[in-house]
Structure 1
Amino acid sequence: MATGEMLRRLALSLEGTVEAPHFDRTAFRVKRNYVTLAADGLTANFRFTPDEQQFRCMLAPAAFSPVANAWGRQGWTTGILSELAETDLRAALEAAWRQALPKAGSSRKR
């Protein structure tokens, strides 16, 4: 069973990740946020591609569901940490992290 502390440890082990407050959550980001952790540490919102979101929700419907608004249609997906093994959490974090990395050849600053 995954926990909020496990998410924090795994996310910060991914190259370039920093932790920062994000409204009532904690965000983990490289160029952009790729996961946010709820204040209670029970759920996290992952930034997946829509295809990745569909795959994860189909594979583990007890663990993953689209965020219920326009963010969800963009791929943001809620994960219930207690429904995830550490290996599943690591895979989800790595998938979201890859989406947040700067694109190759991109030197434009925002």
Structure 2
Amino acid sequence: MTGHQLRAIALSFQGTTEAAHFDRRAFKVHRIFATLAADEQSANLLLTPEGQEFYVGLKPTAFRRLPNRWGDQGWTSVSLAGVDADLMREALEKAWQAATRSTKSRSRRD
């Protein structure tokens, strides 16, 4: 998996935009669901706690929970060299869905 491939997959999801986010590239649909490191060697994905546990358990050499509150919120780091395009597409779609659901939940409370 390369950063170019990740970018193409992330932008294929409906409503996704790309923008700078500190030293990373952020992919968002109302809310950021993935960021790509400047060196394009890793990405951070917003997963549900169950999704985080699943991917870390499935491929612990590639996926790891971020420390602190970020990890508690589902943010998970993935080494791009450790995953293929199919697995990354699946994980990115879960992250996109999580961001889409959280946006819908917030708008219902407003």
**Same fold flag (TM > 0.5):** yes
Query: C-alpha offsets along residues 29-66 of structure 1, whole Å, 9 cap, x if unaligned?
Result: 00100000000000000000111101110011011000
Question: Structure 2: any 5+ residue segments left out of the alignment?
Answer: none
Work out the CA distance in 1 between the residues paired with 2:22 and 2:105: 30
Which residue of 2 is the match for residue 59 of structure 1? Answer: 58
% same residue: 48
Work out the CA distance in 2 between the residues paired with 1:28 and 1:105: 19
Work out the CA distance in 2 between the residues paired with 1:74 and 1:89: 20
- Runs of 4+ displaced beyond 4 Å: none
* Aligned positions, number: 108
Distance 1:74 1:40, change over 3 A: same
Work out the CA distance in 1 between the residues paired with 2:63 and 2:11: 22
TM-score by length of 2: 0.92
Coordinate RMSD, CA, aligned: 1.7
Query: C-alpha offsets along residues 68-110 of structure 1, whole Å, 9 cap, x if unaligned?
Result: 221011110000000001000000100000011132793778x
Work out the CA distance in 1 between the residues paired with 2:88 and 2:4: 12
Question: Structure 1: any 5+ residue segments left out of the alignment?
Answer: none
Pairing 1:49–2:48 present: yes
Which residue of 2 is the match for residue 17 of structure 1? Answer: 16
TM-score by length of 1: 0.92
Which residue of 1 is the match for residue 107 of structure 2? Answer: 106
Distance 1:44 1:108, change over 3 A: same
